[in-house]
Amino acid sequence: MGAPVFASYTPMGPTQVREPFHREGWVYEEKVDDWRMLAYKDGVRVRLVSRNGRDHTQRFAGIAAAIAKLSARSLVLDGEAAIYDEKLRSRFDWLREPDADAVATPPVFMAFDLLHQDGREFTGRPLHERRARLEEAVAGSDFVLPVRRLARNGFEAWSEVIAHDYEAWSPRMKRACTRRGRRDDG
């Protein structure tokens, strides 16, 4: 694996909030309840590395194969390996012990950030730019998807979380930048 692409990245921690809110300049995304990891791609070689440094590439070979097929020559994605039930709710427990009788998706990679692509570092760029590049980078893949955006209004977004029984939400500032392992929220 090449040094620039596989330089040390740390998954960014979420913004902790105590109750629903709405603020201008924020976006609201579904919080996925699954395994947090970074996906590294260098040519057709891919590594899926968990927050604690464990390599899960073989465990999620289908996700790795899908990432290898993305058009970027190199990239680093921050996201989660996930399985969804018939109501499209992420199911952490099924990653460990799949339920053979359940209607579920195969493991997918839900990406919420693009940190690096084809020699360009994006950690210092605002979220809205990274999200646009992320959507382009994973376009057409059935197994690598951008995390779901919720309603633009924070209170409506929270209502979606409750109505669909999602794990939670992840509010993010549109202009926030990522700095290797932390978010600059202002």
Residues 78, 109: contact at Cβ < 8 Å? Answer: no
26 touches 154 (CB < 8 A): yes
d(CA 147, CA 80): 9
Tell me the DSSP string of 21-55.
---TTEEEEEEP-SEEEEEEEETTEEEEEETTS-B
Q: Write out the catalytic residue numbers.
A: 31
Q: Which long-range contacts (CB under 8 A, 24 or more apart) does 182-186 make?
A: 182/12, 182/13, 183/12, 183/13, 183/15, 185/15
Element (H, E) at 76: strand 74-82
- Sequence-separated (6 or more) residues with CB below 8 Å from residue 23: 154
Q: Find the helix or strand (DSSP H, E) in which 164 lies.
A: helix 154-164
